[in-house]
């Protein structure tokens, strides 16, 4: 199955690409995919995205299709799921 990942704002700049398609053999939990796949591919993003216990920091917003991924979510990925990772957007 294929998952489309889009990076926004600082997440995009850190990773250096706007989006990518990642192939998976099986479905998995979205939060596990972020920690075990995305953060392994992009170590520099992991520094921002994960805390010391490898949990996703709540400063980032992650959406699976149009649904926000909450900290204790059990949302699973499906073929053609779209993940959007948005770093904080702020102004003074």
Partner 1 sequence: MIFDNKTIREIQFPKEQLNNVISHCLRKLNGRYLVGEAKEQQAYGLIGGKLHEGILSIGKITPLNKNARQDTGVSEHMDVAVATHAIPGGMPVCHRGWIADSEETMCAVKKFQKNSMEMIGTYHMHCTSSWHGDEARDEPTKLDAVLGRDTGLIMFIVGVIDQNRPIIRAFYEGILDREIPIVEI
By C-beta, is 74 or 90 nearer to partner 1?
A: 90
Q: How far is Cα 64 from Cα 68, in angstroms, rounded to an integer?
A: 6
How far apart are CB 23 and partner 1 at their closest, in Å?
23
Contacts of 51 (CB under 8 A, 6+ apart): 57
How far apart are CB 53 and partner 1 at their closest, in Å?
15
Going across the sheet that includes 81-86, the strands are 19-23, 2-8, 81-86, 61-64, 67-68
In the complex, the residues that contact partner 1 under the rule CB under 8 A are 8-10, 12-14, 16-18, 57-59, 61, 63, 66, 68, 84, 86-92
By C-beta, is 26 or 53 nearer to partner 1?
A: 53
């Amino acid at each position: 199955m294929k998952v489309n990942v889009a990076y926004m704002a600082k997440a995009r700049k850190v990773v250096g690409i706007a989006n990518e398609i990642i192939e998976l053999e099986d479905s998995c939990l979205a939060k596990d995919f972020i920690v075990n796949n995305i953060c392994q591919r992009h170590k520099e993003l992991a520094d921002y995205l994960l805390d010391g216990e490898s949990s996703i920091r709540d400063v980032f917003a992650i959406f699976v299709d149009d649904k926000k991924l909450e900290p204790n979510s059990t949302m699973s990925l499906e073929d053609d799921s779209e993940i959007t990772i948005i770093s904080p957007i702020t102004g003074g």
